[in-house]
Amino acid sequence: MNSLLRGSLLALVVMVMLAGCGGGAPAASTSGGSAADAARQFFTAMMTGEGDLAAMLCSTVDESVRSGITQAGDAIKSTYDQLGATLDLTGLTFTVQNESGNNAEVVIAGNLKVNVNGAVNEAPFPSTTYKMLNENGWKVCG
């Protein structure tokens, strides 16, 4: 399974586990020109359903993977809506590593908080690395 799709599904699993145990408003998407900003924007869109995930992916991402990521994002948003949950992403860090020319890796790590009807639960988010490519703006490739 593609690492990007696996990371997206991992995000869904973590979110559901946190919601089952028990935040604040979702983090606003960021704008800017860095690989870290683009990774944060993609992750935020993935976890909140706000934003066009497909537009944030590299042109090299296979259509079936692109479709799977979009479906995973829709599933996460639907789960939030059904649970009445909000997510706080402010405990996450997005650290650029191995940047060279138009390529970079961004490591996502830290803690997520989920608020379901006033019950807040915080848990570590497993470290995940996004491969990034600058295609007239940084995009997530894997």
At 50 the pLDDT is 83
pLDDT digits over 100-116, tens only? 999 999 999 999 999 99
Helix (H, G, I), strand (E, B) or coil at 3: helix
Listed in sequence order, the residues at least 6 apart from 62 whose beta carbon sits closer than 8 Å to its beta carbon are 2
At 11 the pLDDT is 53
The mean per-residue pLDDT over the stretch 42-67 comes to 90
The domain spans of the chain are 3-136
Residue 6 clears pLDDT 80, i.e. is over it: no
pLDDT digits over 116-137, tens only? 988 999 999 999 999 999 999 9
The mean per-residue pLDDT over the stretch 35-49 comes to 93
Rounded to two decimals, what is the model's pTM? 0.76
Helix (H, G, I), strand (E, B) or coil at 1: coil
The mean per-residue pLDDT over the stretch 40-61 comes to 91
User: Pick from 85, 1, 80, 4: which is nearest to 43 by CA?
Assistant: 4
Average pLDDT, the chain: 81
Domain 3-136 has CATH 3.10.450: yes
User: How crowded is residue 67: how many other Cβ atoms within 10 Å of its Cβ?
Assistant: 12
